[in-house]
A and B are shown apart, each in its own frame.
Chain A
Amino acid sequence: MQVKDQNFKPLVVSFCCNWCSYAGADLAGSSRLEYPAEVKIIRIPCSCRVDPLFVLRAFQRGADGVIINGCHPGDCHYTSGNYFTRRRMTLLFSMLDYLGIERERTRLEWVSAAEGARFAKVMNEFVGKLHEMGANKRLGDIRCKE
Chain B
Amino acid sequence: MLVCWCGSNIAGTVDINTVVEASKREPGVVYATDYQYMCAEGGQAMVRRAIEEHSLTGIVVSACSPRMHETTFRKAAAAAGLNPYMVEIANIREHCSWVHKDKEVGTEKAVVLMRAAIAKLNLNTPLFPGESGVIKRALVIGGGIAGIQTALDIADAGYEVDIVEKSPTIGGTMAQLDKTFPTLDCAACILTPKMVDAAQHDKITLYTYSEVDEVSGFVGNFSVKIRQKARCINSKLCNGCGDCIEKCPAKKAKSEFDEGLANRKAIYVPFAQAVPNVPVIDQTQCLKFKTGKCGLCEKVCLPKAINFEQQDEIIEKEYGVIIAATGFRPLSPERYGEYGYGQLPDVITSLEFERLMNAAGPTGGALLRRSNGEKPKSIVFIQCVGSRAEPDKGKSYCSKICCMYTAKHAMLVRDKYPNIDVSVFYIDVRTPGKNFDEFYRRAVEQYGVNYIKGMVGKIAEEDGRLRVQGSDLIEDTQIFVDADLVVLATAVEAQASARPLGTMLTASMDQNNFFSESHAKLRPVESPTAGIFLSGVCQGPKDIPETVAQAGAAAVKALGILSKDKLIGNPCIAGPDELLCNGCASCEKVCPYGAITYADKEINDHGHRTTRHVAEINEAICQGCGACTVTCPSGAMDLKGFTNRQIMAEVDAICR
Q: Which residues of A contact B (CB under 8 A)?
A: 11, 13, 18-20, 22-23, 25-26, 28-30, 32-35, 37, 40-46, 48-54, 57-58, 61-63, 71, 74-81, 84, 88, 112-115, 120, 144-145
Contacts and interface: CB of A to CB of B under 8 A. Distances in A.
Contact of A75 (B98, B99, B509, B626): B509
Contacts of A49: 625-627, 629-630, 639, 642, 647
Given A49-B642, A76-B506, A77-B506, A41 B630 contact: no
Contacts of B629: 49, 51
A54 B65 contact: no
B511 interface: yes
Contact of B642 (A13, A29, A45, A115): A45
A81 to B, nearest CB: 5
A120 B648 CA distance: 25
Contact of A34 (B100, B503, B516, B650): B100
A127 to B, nearest CB: 12
30 contacts: A23-B67, A25-B95, A29-B98, A30-B94, A30-B98, A34-B99, A37-B99, A40-B109, A40-B113, A40-B116, A43-B91, A49-B630, A49-B642, A51-B629, A51-B630, A53-B644, A53-B648, A57-B648, A57-B652, A58-B655, A61-B652, A61-B655, A62-B655, A77-B529, A78-B625, A81-B592, A84-B630, A114-B510, A120-B99, A144-B655
Contacts of A144: 652, 655
B397 to A, nearest CB: 11
Contacts of A115: 511
Contacts of A11: 654-655
B112 interface: yes
A84 B630 CA distance: 10
A24 to B, nearest CB: 10
B648 A54 contact: yes
Nearest to A31: B98
B547 interface: no
- Of B96, B511, B647, B651, most A-chain CB atoms within 10 Å: B651
B201 interface: no
B98 A74 contact: no
A67 B65 CA distance: 20
A71 B625 CA distance: 13
A35 B100 CA distance: 7
A77 B651 contact: no
Contacts of A61: 651-652, 655-656
Given A58-B651, A112-B511, 20 more contacts: A13-B654, A26-B91, A28-B99, A37-B96, A37-B108, A45-B625, A45-B626, A46-B627, A48-B625, A49-B625, A51-B630, A57-B651, A61-B652, A62-B655, A71-B508, A77-B506, A78-B592, A79-B592, A81-B625, A144-B655
Contacts of A120: 99
A30 B508 CA distance: 19
Interface in B61-116: 65-68, 91, 93-96, 98-102, 105-106, 108-109, 112-113, 116
Given A42-B116, A48-B627, A29 B99 contact: yes
A113 B527 CA distance: 11
Contacts of B572: 45
A22 B135 CA distance: 31
A113 B627 CA distance: 21
B516 A29 contact: no
Interface string B615-647: 000000001111101110000000100101001
B440 to A, nearest CB: 31
Contacts of A81: 592, 625-627
A26 B94 contact: yes
A74 to B, nearest CB: 6
A113 B271 CA distance: 40
Contacts of B105: 37
- Of B68, B508, B639, most A-chain CB atoms within 10 Å: B508
A44 B639 CA distance: 10
Contacts of A22: 65, 67
A42 B654 contact: yes
A40 B112 contact: yes
Contacts of B502: 75
B590 interface: yes
Contacts of B98: 29-30, 32
Given A88-B630, A144-B655, A42 B650 contact: yes
A145 to B, nearest CB: 8
A46 B626 contact: yes
Contacts of A48: 625-627, 630
B384 to A, nearest CB: 22
Nearest to B102: A37
Contacts of B100: 34, 37
A125 B593 CA distance: 36
B651 A13 contact: yes
A19 B630 CA distance: 19
Contacts of B650: 42
A32 B94 CA distance: 8
B654 A40 contact: yes
Contacts of B508: 19-20, 71, 75, 77, 112-114
Given A71-B508, A112-B508, A63 B655 contact: yes
A49 B630 CA distance: 6
B67 to A, nearest CB: 6
B94 A25 contact: yes
Given A45-B572, A45-B642, A61-B655, A32 B627 contact: no
Contacts of B109: 37, 40
A114 B502 CA distance: 15
B142 to A, nearest CB: 20
A75 B625 CA distance: 14
B61 to A, nearest CB: 14
A62 B652 CA distance: 9
B528 interface: yes
Contacts of B101: 34
